[in-house]
Structure 1
Amino acid sequence: MAIVKEFKEFAMRGNVVDLAVGVIIGAAFGKIVTSLVTDIIMPPLGFVVGRIDFKDLKYVIKPAVGKIPETAVNYGLFINNVIDFLIVAFCIFLMVKGINSLKKQEEAAPAAPAAPTKEEILLTDIRDILAKQK
């Protein structure tokens, strides 16, 4: 029973819920970035480097024979995935940098109270002396 209680406390903590939301949003964001790379960035890049579609780049080890498919190293798909990863990593870097700058602004906001002036110190001393005399 104790382990069930501990698990419930763990699962209901804010960090776990935040992590779950982050994973779900990250998966959706990954699809968007994959589409950005595959559908928008790679076609012009392939055109610039000689009308090459990167996803078709491969090194055929053994050609197809009859119903047996070819054996190939699809390095073009790897190039697409590397570019995809770099874009996702850069976007996450920008998000973390933005969040950190907001946190720094929040931390800098509370200023220390100003030190009392000489007059305030003297008035406080006078008040304390009068309070002792009563």
Structure 2
Amino acid sequence: MCRSYSQASVRRGRRARRGPGLRHVRCASDGKVYICGQAGVILEGRNDHWKRIDSDRYRGLDLWSIEFVDETLYVAGMRMLLRRELDDWVPATEVGPCNGTVGYLAAHNGVMWSAGEGDLLRCERHQWTKIR
């Protein structure tokens, strides 16, 4: 269970600064929490220790969703999907043949779903299928 992000810790924090909106939160098996949002924001941390993860690959783009599949972290914008490898983000080229829009990600038991702007995609074992 993810215990790194709670209403109590939010209330104890300082007055919120205005900035890019945060859209999606995912907890890793090691207890780290990942958050993505507008203007290319990706945060990694736990409790009171947070850092911003920056990359030229998505700087300034709105990020809609962040998800783990088989311990691999993915982040999606409306027209791109990136996969975290070591300390870098690389395009998830396996989605290319579907020519679909991505956006919101959901995963369970090794299968990832993506609901984009008019597209529904399913990925299992790095093989993408366009549903509609």
TM-score by structure 1 length?
0.16
Which is helix-richer, 1 or 2? Answer: 1
Q: Which has the larger radius of gyration?
A: 1
- Structure with greater proportional strand content: 2
